[in-house]
Amino acid sequence: MIPNDVRITPELVAEHGLKPDEYQRILDLIGREPTLTELGIFSAMWNEHCSYKSSKKWLRTLPTKGPRVICGPGENAGVVDIGDGQAIIFKMESHNHPSYIEPHQGAATGVGGILRDVFTMGARPVAALNALRFGEPDHPRTRHIVSGVVAGIGGYGNSFGVPTIGGEVNFDPSYNGNCLVNAFAAGLADADKIFYSEAKGVGLPIVYLGSKTGRDGIHGATMASAEFGEDSEEKRPTVQIGDPFSEKLLLEACLELMASGAVIAIQDMGAAGLTCSAVEMGAKGNLGVELDLDKVPCREEGMTAYEMMLSESQERMLMVLDPAREKDAEAIFVKWGLDFAVIGKTTDDLRFRIKRHGDVMADLPIKELGDQAPEYDRPFVKAEKPKPLSPADAPAPNDLGEVLTRMLALPDMCSRRWVWEQYDHLIQGNTAIGPGGDAAVIRVENGPKGLAFSLDVTPRYCAADPQEGGKQAVAECWRNLTAVGAEPLAITDNLNFGNPEKPEIMGQFVGCIEGIGEACRALDFPVVSGNVSLYNETNGKGILPTPAIGGVGLLPDVSKRATVAFKAEGEAVIVIGETKGHLGQSVYLRDIAGIRDDASAPPPVDLAIERRNGDFVREEIRAGNLTAVHDVSDGGILVAAAEMAMAGGIGASLKPQTELPLHCWAFAEDQARYLVTLPDADAEGFLARAAKTGIAAMRLGATGGHELTVDGGVPISLAELKAAHEGWLPAYMAAGAEL
């Protein structure tokens, strides 16, 4: 009999995030009462964060295959072929709950965790991005959280030595008690040298690598699978502590060990720590695992089996090694100053067996722990399709220029320079387009190839119409990659939602998944990795549905790329795509007209038109015909034109040919649109090529001067626009961090 001196009560089961029926399932599986350690292991493996028990059914509907896909979902990260024997490995993951509790460490270890996911597969990280959502600026904790999260991301990424090159930042009251920190990382590897987590072979050594195990982060995954209440602050001990310098050593040691040929399988220790990594390796390989915890390197005295199995201490790896190469492997890790300890072996009995001080502390069926966790078909209610807003129902402003200036200074629309200047986006020396454009671009080693990256989602669209919002998130990501000249390859997603046990929330999730799937299929943009973060609620109030999409694109020649900035005076400004005046769910309606309870439909997404328009723009960029390109999204055409003008320090005179009210033309958020510039002499030829392809394209005006002029109206000063655009965030943060 396994010793167990702690009585398992219903209260203890509930504290471990397990429902009574789930606990009964455990009893039926093992035929006895679990030990405390076993209860902790089940809690770690069956929580939402690790098991995807509410989302599996729907995730399986997403397209995951394509001619370039080497490895899709199910591994540490997705792998995509980029030609010349090279692969890009990438993933995005949430660190939402920890970042609210302890912003600096929560965000930092989010970066550390996603970097490990990438180099676990044999890749050297080459780019990091992040998608951040904060509460309303006036909330007493928002400044503190923004400050801590940005410092944590910058501190870890900069110290590790990976360029943080892009992302997004937004504010909304729905995130007041539950910020979102979605970290993305990408790495390069040889396509024939990818490492996987599936253990192979019986009796092989299981090796613990990296930093010592401590008591930080215990129950971290369980905490991230539950709603917040008033006591969220008390969860601070569940937040992990990161050390980027140890991570850098771990990277170099792992890559050197991989190159030696000694590694059979490898898994990073992230959520649920030693438990999850060991179970996943064994279950994937149809093998059992036996661990002797006496051999685990610990930095704290007297740690119990329970604490060691559930610790989420950072900068750790688990490997299955070729026994003949054990000494060579150990020498590599000793050289890098890291712990190396054989802590167990693979077995042929499909059991997960844990020993401590000679006692068996856990003896469980490994498959049921890993890939046979509970799977729920949650009931859901889909929201009714909202009705489009008529252009006539959106109140007109008195002064177009005043509205544009106000809009560019909004928290959701202002410059993010204050954020990205804290990130090193130039380290490694391959950044071709840094933060502030449609997509970031890096050179692949010495070129000529380049890779483009973009993170996108518009939560207010997803809340109004989840399916259309899911489509739009993918389409905008695809459009942003296209706008720099890249061929979109694949996506990773980070699906952030409230409590899935509420049918309306589950309805949001299902709708967004359907929209994402539809867009990915239409655009040949498969999903290769991702993360689901549910229970993003505080005191029963959920966040806006936020299915963040991270896309990767390929440039055959990185020198043939486009940027946002106007390049010269006297060039033609042309809009590609139709403007029908869709102001439903727009920034204009919400923040300028003040209609925040808007129940209207977001702009519809026609995926065939998205593809046609985007393919045309990409061809024109690669042919060298366009001098500047910018996709039209939040805020509409006039905001896009202002961003291009501010980036280039050159104004423009615009004369829209439209029957729409001027504010509808200016601020509508119709999809599938791009603003482009090119030499005036080439404009007619360009418009003719567009017409031949069946693409709506119209000349809007010309670049020049230091002002924006619309339809002969009062000129809008670029200097004033830039001051408003650049001023809000630094002024807000300078007001002081409020706890």
357 CB-contact burial (10 Å; exposed 0-12 / middle 13-18 / buried 19+): exposed
Three-state secondary structure string covering 347-396: ECCCEEEEEECCEEEEEEEHHHHCCCCCCCCCCCCCCCCCCCCCHHHCCC
How many Cα atoms occupy the beta-carbon half-sphere of 423 within 13 Å?
27
- List the structure tokens of 606: 């026609």
Compute CA distances 589 → 103, 176, 402, 410, 633, whole Å: 32, 22, 15, 13, 14
Compute CA distances 672 → 439, 606, 664, 696, whole Å: 16, 8, 17, 10
How far apart CA 719 and CA 236 sit, in angstroms, is 45
How far apart CA 256 and CA 328 sit, in angstroms, is 11
- List the structure tokens of 352: 């997960």
CA angle 321, 325, 327 (to 5 degrees): 105
For residues 414-435, one letter each, b for 16 or more C-beta atoms within 10 angstroms of the residue's C-beta and e for the rest, the string is bbbebbbebbbbebbebbbbbb
Beta bridge partners of 453: 440, 552
Three-state secondary structure string covering 712-739: CCCCEEHHHHHHHHHHHHHHHHHCCCCC
| No. of helices (H) and no. of strands (E), the chain | 25, 28
How far apart CA 260 and CA 387 sit, in angstroms, is 61
Identity of the amino acid at 650: I
Q: One of 16, 95, 219, 725 is an active-site residue; which one?
A: 95
Beta bridge partners of 73: 75
| In contact, 310 and 218? CB cutoff 8 Å | yes
Three-state secondary structure string covering 609-665: HHHHHHHHHHHHHHCCCCCEEEECCCCHHHHHHHHHHHHHCCCEEECCCCCCCHHHH
For residues 253-286, one letter each, b for 16 or more C-beta atoms within 10 angstroms of the residue's C-beta and e for the rest, the string is bbbebbeeebbbbbbbbbbbbbbbbbbbbbbbbe
CA torsion through residues 199, 205, 210, 211, sign: positive
How far apart CA 670 and CA 579 sit, in angstroms, is 6
Q: One of 49, 425, 582, 663 is an active-site residue; which one?
A: 49
How far apart CA 700 and CA 703 sit, in angstroms, is 10
Helix 244-260 and helix 142-160, axial crossing angle in degrees, nearest 10: 40
3-state DSSP assignment of residue 568: coil
| Length in residues, the chain | 739
Beta bridge partners of 99: none
Beta bridge partners of 188: 88, 124
Assess whether 663 carries a catalytic annotation: no
Which of 15, 193, 39 has the alpha carbon at shortest distance from 121? 193
Assess whether 97 carries a catalytic annotation: no
What are the residue numbers of the active site?
Answer: 49, 95
